[in-house]
Amino acid sequence: MTRIAMIDVPAPCQFINSNQRRSLHVVAHGDPAAQGSKKAFVRGSKVNMVEMSKKLPGWRATVKAAAKHAAGPDWKPLDGPLTIRGEIRLHKPRTTKYPDHPAGPPDLDKLQRAIGDALTQSCAIADDARIVHWDIRKVWAENIPGMDIEIAEIGQPERPKNPGI
């Protein structure tokens, strides 16, 4: 197996079929950034779309590195229905309208979108389209901002052998 370090080219993911339910615990430290709001620039006859968040590339790289570290070198991507549970810890500003809860920007769904894409890029999961359930909350960070999540495969529901039809 050849390893290429420090190159930002997506490596091909290896997939595994297994009846075992697997999970992965990922902790990333850094300033969470939202993904989704874009600006459009016209150059000649082409329209270029650019993320508005300048922090997004750094946050995505942090989550990607944390997921790779948690998974280890022999990890095979989770490739079935997935649930993600945990929390995103945001830096608390000096003044805020909501001192007990981060009820302002960034939007939770946009934070989740950034995490899902980073988990796919890290090969921790096969595709963020596999995520069927999110149980994530935004909280004020007590010390270090970041995220602490658990990704788990969801088993297939049991079907009756004889539905009686």
From the list 132, 97, 131, 104, the residue with the least C-alpha distance to 34 is: 104
Please state, in angstroms and rounded to a whole number, the distance separating the CA atoms of residues 155 and 17: 13
Could you tell me the pTM of the whole model? 0.77
Domain ranges of the chain: 23-153
Mean model confidence pLDDT for the chain = 84
How far is residue 34 CA from its own chain's centroid? 11
pLDDT at 1 over 50: no
Our measurement of the distance from residue 108's CA atom to the centroid of its chain's CA atoms, rounded to an integer in Å, reads 12
15 three-class SS? coil
Q: How many CA atoms lie within 13 A of 93 on its CB side?
A: 9
Give the rounded percent of residues in the chain with a pLDDT score beyond 90.
68
* Per-residue pLDDT reduced to its tens digit, 65-115: 999 999 999 999 999 999 999 999 999 999 999 999 999 999 999 999 999
CA distance 37 to 107: 10
CATH code of domain 23-153: 3.30.1330.70
